[in-house]
C-alpha cells in the first residue's frame, strides 16, 4: 500500500518536472513561456526569462521592426502622395505596375493588356456641359437705394457732381427710366423663338430712340412667358463684321416700365473660325417670373467711342464699335 502511494508521488513529480523543463527544442521555449500544473491540478503559464543572447537577437529584430514601422509611418510624398496628383495619375503610385485587363485571343490564349487610366473629368470628356459663367456687368434696377458714399480726403469737389453724388441726385436708373420706354414703337417686335438661336439685325433702317445714354438703333424682343420659363440664361452674341455692335440691355414689364438695365458687359471675344465670324459672347440672366416681359437691345454713346482690342495673327488688332450689327439670341440649354 505504501509502495503504491510512493510510486504515484514519484510519477507526479516526474510529470511536473517534465512540464517545467523547457529546452531549446520545446515549443514553450519558442513561444517565450513554459506550461506547468500546480498542486490543484490547474494548468499555469510562466514567461521564460531571456538570456543575453536572446536579448541581442530580440533587440535586433525589434530594431528592424521599428525601422520598418518608422519608414512606413513617415509623412512623405512616397508614402502619402498628394491626393489631387494621385487622381491625375489614375491612382497609380510611382513604381507600381500599370493596371491591365485580360482577354482571350482567337486561339484561346489568355492575354494581358496594360493601359493608362483616363483621368479627364466628365466636362473634359464632353459628357457634361461646363457650368455657365454669367458675364460681369453693371446692373441697375427699380427700387434700389443710392449708396451714401463720400469722396476721399483731398479729392476735387467737382468730382461729386460728375459721379452723381450730389445730395438729392437722381440715380442712373431713374434718369434712364424717365426717357424710356412708354412711347417706344411696338409695331414690329421680335418674337422669342423657342429651342434655337435666332438672329436680329440692327441696321440703318432700324428704329432709333433717344435714350438718356444717347441716340441708338434698338430692337424690341418679346420674352417667353413665365409659365414657360420663370427664369433662364440668355446667350447674346454680337458678331464682328467691319466692326462690332456693343449691346446694352433693358428689361421692361408689360406696360413698358423699366425693371432692370444691364450695361458695361465684359463680354468674351470668340475668334472667327471657318464657319463663323468672331463675336462678343455674353450670358445674362432673365426673370420672366419677376414680371420681365420685354427686352430692349441698344448701345450707348460711350460704347461707340471705344473699341475692342483682340490678339490677332500678327499681334493686337482693334475692332471699332459701330451703331449697327448682327446679333444672335438663344436660351442657354440646361438652365
- Return the SS3 of 316: strand
217 and 280 in contact (C-beta within 8 Å)?
Answer: no
Which one is predicted more confidently, 297 or 96?
297
Nine cell digits for residue 34: 513554459
254 and 291 in contact (C-beta within 8 Å)?
Answer: yes
Which one is predicted more confidently, 145 or 263?
263
280 and 272 in contact (C-beta within 8 Å)?
Answer: no
CA distance 131 to 190: 28
Give 196's Cβ-side CA count (13 Å radius).
3
Most confident of 41-50, 127-136, 311-320: 311-320
Which one is predicted more confidently, 61 or 233?
233
CA distance 244 to 23: 100
Give 254's Cβ-side CA count (13 Å radius).
6
Residue 10: which pLDDT band, with cuts at 50, 70 and 90?
very low
Read off the pLDDT of residues 164-203 as tens digits, 9 standing for 90 and up: 566 556 789 999 999 999 889 888 899 999 889 999 999 9
CA distance 296 to 252: 8
Residue 303 has pLDDT above 80, yes or no: yes
If one counts every other C-beta atom within 10 angstroms of the C-beta of residue 15, the result is: 12
DSSP 289: G
228: left (phi over 0), alpha (psi -120 to 50) or beta: alpha
Q: What is the DSSP string of 121-133?
A: -TTTTTSSPPPPP
Which one is predicted more confidently, 146 or 207?
207
DSSP 321: B
Rounded alpha-carbon distances, angstroms, from residue 190 to 2, 66, 126, 286, 331: 128, 80, 34, 16, 15
pLDDT, averaged across the chain: 78
Residue 306 has pLDDT above 80, yes or no: yes
Which one is predicted more confidently, 113 or 218?
218
Which one is predicted more confidently, 90 or 221?
221
Q: What is the pLDDT of residue 195?
A: 87
Contacts of 42 (CB under 8 A, 6+ apart): none
321 and 241 in contact (C-beta within 8 Å)?
Answer: no
Residue 6 has pLDDT above 70, yes or no: no
Instruction: Outline where 124-268 has alpha helix (H).
Output: 158-162, 172-179
Average pLDDT over residues 261-276: 91
Average pLDDT over residues 52-71: 54
CA distance 45 to 137: 84
CA distance 145 to 257: 18
% of the chain beyond a pLDDT of 70: 63
CA distance 245 to 239: 8
Closest CA to 173 of 285, 299, 248, 258: 258
Which one is predicted more confidently, 143 or 257?
257
Give 127's Cβ-side CA count (13 Å radius).
4
Average pLDDT over residues 6-29: 45
Residue 307 has pLDDT above 90, yes or no: yes
CA distance 19 to 72: 42
CA distance 96 to 87: 15
Q: What is the pLDDT of residue 44?
A: 76
Residue 151: which pLDDT band, with cuts at 50, 70 and 90?
low
Amino acid at each position: 500500500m505504501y509502495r503504491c502511494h510512493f510510486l504515484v508521488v514519484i510519477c507526479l513529480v516526474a510529470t511536473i518536472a517534465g512540464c517545467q523543463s523547457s529546452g531549446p527544442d520545446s515549443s514553450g521555449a519558442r513561444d517565450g513561456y513554459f506550461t506547468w500544473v500546480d498542486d490543484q491540478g490547474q494548468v499555469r503559464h510562466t514567461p521564460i526569462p531571456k538570456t543575453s543572447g536572446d536579448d541581442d537577437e530580440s533587440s535586433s529584430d525589434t530594431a528592424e521592426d521599428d525601422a520598418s514601422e518608422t519608414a512606413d509611418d513617415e509623412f512623405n510624398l512616397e508614402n502619402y502622395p498628394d491626393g489631387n496628383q494621385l487622381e491625375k495619375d489614375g491612382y497609380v503610385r510611382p513604381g507600381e505596375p500599370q493596371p491591365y485587363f485580360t482577354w482571350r485571343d482567337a486561339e484561346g490564349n489568355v492575354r494581358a493588356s496594360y493601359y493608362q487610366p483616363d483621368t479627364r473629368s466628365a466636362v473634359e470628356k464632353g459628357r457634361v456641359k461646363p457650368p455657365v459663367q454669367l458675364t460681369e456687368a453693371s446692373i441697375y434696377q427699380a427700387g434700389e437705394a443710392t449708396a451714401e458714399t463720400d469722396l476721399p480726403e483731398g479729392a476735387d469737389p467737382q468730382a461729386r457732381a460728375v459721379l452723381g453724388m450730389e445730395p438729392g441726385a437722381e440715380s442712373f436708373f431713374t434718369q434712364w427710366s424717365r426717357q424710356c420706354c412708354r412711347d417706344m414703337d411696338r409695331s414690329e417686335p421680335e418674337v422669342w423663338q423657342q429651342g434655337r438661336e435666332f438672329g436680329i439685325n440692327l441696321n440703318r433702317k432700324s428704329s432709333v430712340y433717344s435714350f438718356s445714354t444717347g441716340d441708338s438703333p434698338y430692337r424690341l424682343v418679346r420674352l417667353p412667358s413665365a409659365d414657360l420659363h420663370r427664369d433662364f440664361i440668355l446667350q447674346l452674341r454680337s458678331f464682328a463684321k467691319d466692326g462690332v455692335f456693343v449691346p446694352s440691355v433693358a428689361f421692361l414689364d408689360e406696360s413698358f416700365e423699366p425693371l432692370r438695365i444691364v450695361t458695361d458687359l465684359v463680354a468674351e471675344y470668340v475668334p472667327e473660325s471657318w464657319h463663323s465670324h468672331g463675336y462678343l459672347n455674353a450670358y445674362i440672366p432673365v426673370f420672366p417670373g419677376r414680371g420681365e416681359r420685354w427686352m430692349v437691345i441698344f448701345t450707348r454713346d460711350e460704347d461707340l467711342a471705344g473699341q475692342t482690342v483682340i490678339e490677332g495673327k500678327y499681334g493686337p488688332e482693334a475692332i471699332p464699335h459701330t451703331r449697327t450689327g448682327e446679333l444672335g439670341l438663344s436660351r442657354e440649354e440646361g438652365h
